[in-house]
Amino acid sequence: MRCRPTLFSMTLELCHGGQDKMFLRAKVRKKDGKPHRYFSVVENRRVGQNQTVQRTVLYLGEINDSQEASWRRTLQVFDESQQQYTTLSLFPEDREIPAESSNSIQVKLSEMELRRPRAFGNCWLGCALWRQLQLEDFWEEKLAEQAKRETVSWAKVLQLLVVNRLIDPGSEFRVHRQWFDQSAMAELLEADFAVAEKDRLYRCLDRILEHQSALFQHLRERWQDLFQAQFDVLLYDLTSTYIEGEGEEIPKAKYGYSRDQRFDAKQVVIALVSTPEGYPLAYEVLDGNTSDRTTLRSFLDKIESSYGRARRVWVMDRGIPTEAVLEEMRRSEREISYLVGTPRSKIRQYEKKWLDLPWRKVRESVEVKLFAEAGELYVLAKSEGRRAKERAMRRKKLARLLRKLRTMQRSAPRRDQLLLRIGAARKEAGSAFRFLQLQLPREGQAVTRNSFQFRVDQAKLTAAQLQDGHYLLRSNLVSEDPAVLWERYVQLAQIEAAFKSMKSELGIRPFYHQLAHRVEAHILVAFLAYCLLVTLKNRLQALAPGLTPKAVLEKLSTIQMLDVWFPTTDQRWLVMPRFTQPEPDQTILLHKLHLELPHQPPPRIKARVPDFPHQALRL
Q: How many residues does the chain have?
A: 619
**By percentage, how much of the chain surpasses pLDDT 90?**
28
Alpha helices in 452-567 (DSSP H): 458-467, 482-490, 492-503, 516-541, 549-556
Distance of CA 616 to the CA centre of its chain: 43
**Which residue did the predictor score with more confidence, 68 or 203?**
203
What pLDDT score does 335 carry?
72
Query: What is the predicted pLDDT for the residue at 243?
Result: 85
- Given a contact cutoff of 8 angstroms between Cβ atoms, the answer to whether 371 and 378 are in contact is yes
> Which residues, listed in sequence order, are joined to residue 116 by a DSSP beta bridge?
none
Residue 309 has pLDDT above 90, yes or no: no
Q: Above 90 in pLDDT, residue 129?
A: yes
- Would you call 156 exposed, middle or buried from its count of C-beta atoms within 10 A (0-12, 13-18, 19+)? buried
Beta bridge pairs of residue 485:
none
Tell me the pLDDT band of 11, cut-offs 50, 70 and 90.
very low
Spell out the residues 6+ positions from residue 64 whose beta carbon is closer than 8 angstroms to its own.
Answer: 36, 37, 71, 72, 73, 74
Query: How do strand 604-607 and strand 376-383 relate by DSSP bridges?
Result: unpaired
Position 173 pLDDT exceeds 60: yes
**Whether pLDDT at 256 is above 80:** yes
The predicted structure's pLDDT at residue 223: 94
The whole-angstrom separation of Cα 461 and Cα 140 is 60
pLDDT at 68 exceeding the cut of 60:
no
**Average pLDDT value for residue range 194-211:** 91
pLDDT interval class at 217 (50, 70, 90)? very high
Angle at the Cα of 532 from the Cα atoms of 149 and 514, rounded to 5 degrees: 55
**Statement: residue 441 has pLDDT above 60:** yes
CA distance 140 to 154: 8
Mean pLDDT (whole number) for 280-304: 84
Arch. (CATH architecture) of 211-375+476-514: Alpha-Beta Complex (3.90)
Lowest mean pLDDT among 159-168, 525-534, 583-592: 583-592
Question: What pLDDT was estimated at residue 619?
Answer: 43
Closest CA relative to residue 125, chosen from 560, 584, 553: 553
pLDDT band at 100 (very low <50, low <70, confident <90, very high): low
Q: What is the pLDDT of residue 76?
A: 53
- Write phi, then psi, for 190 (nearest 5 degrees): 55, 50
Q: What percent of the chain has pLDDT over 70?
A: 80
From 233, 220, 171, select the one nearest 196 (Cα to Cα).
171
pLDDT class of 203 with cuts at 50, 70, 90? very high
Q: Select, from the ranges 22-31, 146-155, 233-242, the one with the highest average predicted confidence (pLDDT).
A: 233-242
Q: What is the mean pLDDT of residues 295-302?
A: 80
Residue with the larger pLDDT of the pair 262 and 67? 262
Residue 14, pLDDT above cutoff 50: no
Q: Give mean pLDDT, residues 568-577.
A: 87
Lowest mean pLDDT of 341-350, 400-409, 473-482, 602-611, name the range.
602-611
Domain boundaries, the chain: 7-116+563-607, 121-207+515-558, 211-375+476-514, 386-467
Residue 504: which pLDDT band, with cuts at 50, 70 and 90? Answer: confident
- Lowest-pLDDT range, 7-21, 229-243, 381-395? 7-21
> Is residue 372 pLDDT above 90, yes or no?
no
Q: Indicate the pLDDT class of residue 392, thresholds 50, 70 and 90.
A: very high
Region 88-104: mean pLDDT is: 57
Residue 527's pLDDT is what? 94
Can you list the alpha helix ranges (DSSP code H) found in 91-143?
121-132, 135-142
Q: Considering the chain, what is the average pLDDT of its residues?
A: 81
